[in-house]
Amino acid sequence: MPKLGLDPRVVRRARELAARAGQPVVDLARSHTTVSVERAVLRLAGVRGADSDGIPWVNRLVDAVRADVGLEHGVAAPAFHAMLTQGVDDVTVLAQKAAAGAVRFAVPSSRAEVTAARRAARRATGAGLKAVDRRRAERDRLIRRLGDPAQRPWIYLIVATGDIYEDIPQAQAAARAGADVIAVIRSTGQSLLDYVPEGATREGFAGTYATQENFRLMRAALDDVSREVGRYVRLTNYASGLCMPEMAVMAGLERLDMMLNDSMYGILFRDINPVRTFVDQRFSRQVHARAGIIINTGEDNYLTTADAVEAAHTVTVSQLLNEFFAHEAGLADWQLGLGHAFEINPELPESFRMELAHALLARELFPDAPLKWMPPTKHMTGDVFRGNLLDGFFNLAGALTGQGILLVGMMTEAVVTPWLSDRDIALQNVRYVLNGAGKLHEDFVPAPGGFIRQRAHGVLGEAVELLARIVDDGLLNAIADGTFGIMKRPADRGKGLDGVAKQAGDYFNPVTEVLEKP
């Protein structure tokens, strides 16, 4: 039941403004394509593998098509036209021939050529989408057979050794200790690679490379431990950076359950071009919708660069924008793991009451979303005893406000990459709080007119004011001005801009053609 007494008219106004602010960006995304969108299409069509230099064949194929005819028509029609006219019956073989300079591409011109090329492309990508559908159905069967975790929030724990074969036993140990969701942190810098590495990887910096083979290996390992512990253990990775659409496709094909997929994180924190990001994120979310994948957004990151009190309303604004973009792409509320974080300076008087106000505001604005509640990082000092206590307060805030996904906080945050023993202590902290206060949110009702209600109303009011300014100025201008996370990112700059193309009148994408059907 609502506990903050939010004015429904103000809430409606906030969503209306978010839609008005977001629609021009959606229009921009619908009228453009990128190299990563086109590569994702060809991955669904069946392109696999990489050359001797480790560059995926799908990159080679898109580069060859682009060199001959550009991106503006889409790559599917030229690629399948070439297959039909040159007698190639395997799309990966086509990529290999293109890389060797043995194939030239043209946009089919006659009605018969267009019809034949598009029919072949639809058949190939349709097989890829059917594979995604089968993996979604497989997840549903496993959940029915093994069961979901008995409690909410789901306990979300990170592994990040750099070596997939070390990640696997750590992930299985975490599941046995009570983790419901395992997130494999991606190697630092991978978001800026404009290709996806191939195969199983054993070297990474502060994380493990996100590859389709690594996805497959970890999913199989978690299936094994799911049967052992008697509940379905979910797997998370990243659909972000320059290969966001391809990551989404690979996640769908390998039955990942959650993907980090924020509409602005790559813009703000990786300096990826805003247009590239919004085009890529729309396609990736359409794939996630089809695959039944929950997205996790990154609002918590704003509070690592901006003050968590002064910038609290920017988190709410971003959540509302992420919700609009997600709904427009076809995601349902149960797939919206909207992010927020426990990042107020604990030395500030009434800091815990403010944390409760912010967390409860998010919970009430998005009642059907499995919100992702993030632990303290910015104000962890290296004092592990203080850190463990602060994580306990974070866990209590999650219990009091009914969060959906609770990321396990580590007392060694800002000191070392956690050891298994650190994770065990952190999980003990979570279990103690959730066992002792797991349903306390049923009894917790802030006092009418009290501090928590007033703070929540104030943050929502500031969010509405900011959204109104964004509607007037434009979202891309707001991002350029440093509105979110104090990072200034102009729309005509940033990494990956050269991989964006405006769609021509005859643009053809057999995947979005299916995903956009009502």
What are the extents of the domains in the chain?
32-126
pLDDT value at position 194? 97
Catalytic-residue membership of 391: no
Q: What is the pLDDT of residue 262?
A: 87
Distance between CA atoms of 34 and 41, rounded to whole angstroms? Answer: 11
Mention every residue, 6+ apart, whose C-beta is less than 8 A from residue 269: 298, 301, 485, 487
How far apart CA 331 and CA 433 sit, in angstroms, is 32
Per-residue pLDDT, 37: 98
- Dihedral, CA of residue 372, residue 369, residue 430 and residue 231, to nearest 10: -110
pLDDT of res. 434: 93
What is the rounded CA–CA span in Å between residue 149 and residue 132?
Answer: 24
Do residues 504 and 73 make contact, with C-beta atoms less than 8 angstroms apart?
yes
378 is catalytic: no
Catalytic residue among 167, 300, 391, 422: 300
Tell me what pLDDT residue 299 has: 87
Out of 3, 97, 372, 495, pick the active-site residue.
372
**305 CB-near residues (< 8 Å, 6+ apart):** 485, 486, 487
Q: Are 295 and 335 spatial neighbours (Cβ–Cβ below 8 Å)?
A: yes
Beta bridge partners of 34: 500
Tell me which amino acid residue 4 is: L
Q: Tell me which residue of 325, 305, 304, 303 sits closest to 315, measured CA to CA.
A: 303
Q: Which long-range contacts (CB under 8 A, 24 or more apart) does 205-208 make?
A: 205/162, 206/160, 206/162, 206/417, 207/160, 207/162, 208/159, 208/160, 208/161, 208/162, 208/163, 208/164, 208/167, 208/184
Does residue 183 contact residue 156 with C-beta atoms inside 8 Å?
yes
H or E element: which one contains 182? strand 181-184
Residues sharing a CB contact under 8 Å with residue 456, sequence separation 6 or more, in sequence order: 4, 6, 357, 358, 360, 361, 364
**Cα(49)–Cα(47) distance, rounded to whole angstroms?**
7
Q: What per-residue confidence (pLDDT) applies to 490?
A: 93
CA distance 3 to 5: 6
Low-confidence ranges of the chain (pLDDT < 70): none
Select which of 265, 391, 422, 507 is catalytic. Answer: 265
Radius of gyration, CA atoms only, the chain: 23
Tokens 């959730």, residue located? 434
- In 31-110, alpha helices (H): 35-45, 57-69, 76-86, 91-99
The answer to whether 372 is a known catalytic residue is yes
Give, for 164, the enclosing helix (H) or strand (E). helix 164-176
- Residue-level pLDDT at 331: 98
